[in-house]
């Protein structure tokens, strides 16, 4: 990737993170922020917006660090296992392991007596379904071998990046971080080929 494209990649992902976090933040606490809009309290609205954008920038940077770390891990995985099918099998096992841990350990550590496990399962299902959709588009964009790596990145790396909020286990922070992370990761995954295909031949294909 050329330095110019890398800067575009970094800044565009930063903007995606800021916008996504702002939207999610206002939705999560609309009952509080609605009063600001109804009273036309522009100063407070702008202050909240800038705070959410700043938090979104942090989420975006975490997402980008995870993305480039995964690109390195993916190359190491292909080199170690020397077979795409074998490396994909390992990634599928890790996806299952991470999703199981996400449900089981969250429920064990944070569930109160009598709480249902269903909400914990639903979070994992949402992550998996969203990731599968993005992996499908990635496969259509490149080739069939891209599905499993894309799914692995969207599930495993996203959950790892989500760990700071998971430890706090505050509902608002959980969702405020999760959705921007997923959106930033999906954006990076799908936009990368457009940033790296600079040749006229690649542009025509």
Task: Dump pLDDT digits (tens) for 125-154.
Answer: 999 999 999 999 999 998 888 999 999 999
Give the confidence band of 98 by pLDDT, cuts at 50, 70, 90: very high
Q: What is the pLDDT of residue 83?
A: 83
| Percent share of the chain, pLDDT over 90 | 67
3-state secondary structure of 119: helix
Structural domain of 111: 3-198
Phi-psi category of residue 75: left, alpha or beta, with phi > 0 → left and psi -120 to 50 → alpha: alpha
Domain count, the chain: 1
User: What is the spatial distance between Cα 186 and Cα 180, in angstroms, rounded to a whole number?
Assistant: 10
- Average the pLDDT over 191-196 and give the result: 84
Q: Among residues 99, 82, 91, 22, which one has the least CA distance to residue 57?
A: 22
Query: Which runs of consecutive H residues, i.e. helices, occur in 82-199?
Result: 84-110, 118-141, 147-152, 158-161, 163-168, 171-196
Domain assignment of residue 57, yes or no: yes
Is the confidence at residue 205, as pLDDT, over 60? Answer: no
Phi-psi category of residue 8: left, alpha or beta, with phi > 0 → left and psi -120 to 50 → alpha: alpha
Give the confidence band of 68 by pLDDT, cuts at 50, 70, 90: very high
Domain assignment of residue 203, yes or no: no
Q: Report which of residues 197 and 178 the model is more confident about.
A: 178
Task: Dump pLDDT digits (tens) for 178-190.
Answer: 999 999 999 999 9
Task: Dump pLDDT digits (tens) for 19-65.
Answer: 999 999 999 988 888 877 777 778 888 999 999 999 999 999 999 99
What is the overall mean pLDDT for the chain? 90
Domain assignment of residue 74, yes or no: yes
Domain assignment of residue 34, yes or no: yes
Domain assignment of residue 205, yes or no: no
Domain assignment of residue 106, yes or no: yes
Domain assignment of residue 173, yes or no: yes
User: What is the spatial distance between Cα 4 and Cα 187, in angstroms, rounded to a whole number?
Assistant: 18
Q: What is the pLDDT of residue 1?
A: 63
| Angle formed at CA 93 by CA 92 and CA 94, multiple of 5 degrees | 90
Domain assignment of residue 204, yes or no: no
Q: Report which of residues 91 and 199 the model is more confident about.
A: 91
User: What is the spatial distance between Cα 101 and Cα 97, in angstroms, rounded to a whole number?
Assistant: 6
Q: What is the pLDDT of residue 115?
A: 87
Q: Quote the pTM value.
A: 0.89
- 139 to 12, 101, 105, 172, 191: CA distances (angstroms): 22, 27, 32, 33, 13
């Amino acid at each position: 990737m050329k330095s110019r494209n890398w800067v575009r990649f970094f800044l565009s992902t930063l903007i995606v993170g800021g916008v996504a976090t702002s939207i999610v933040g206002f939705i999560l606490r609309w009952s509080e922020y609605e009063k600001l809009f109804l009273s036309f309290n522009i100063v407070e609205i702008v202050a909240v917006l800038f705070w959410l954008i700043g938090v979104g920038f942090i989420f975006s940077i975490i997402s980008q660090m995870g993305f480039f770390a995964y690109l390195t891990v993916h190359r190491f995985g292909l080199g170690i296992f020397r077979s795409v099918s074998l490396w994909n099998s390992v990634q599928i096992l890790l996806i299952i392991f991470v999703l199981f841990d996400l449900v089981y350990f969250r429920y064990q550590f944070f569930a109160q007596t009598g709480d249902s496990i269903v909400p914990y399962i639903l979070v994992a299902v949402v992550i998996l379904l969203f990731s599968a959709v993005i992996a499908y588009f990635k496969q259509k964009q490149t080739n069939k071998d891209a599905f499993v790596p894309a799914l692995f990145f969207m599930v495993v790396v996203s959950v790892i990046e989500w760990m700071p909020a998971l430890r706090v286990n505050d509902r608002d922070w959980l969702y405020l971080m999760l959705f921007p992370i997923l959106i930033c990761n999906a954006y990076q995954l799908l936009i990368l080929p457009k940033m790296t295909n600079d040749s006229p031949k690649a542009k025509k294909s």
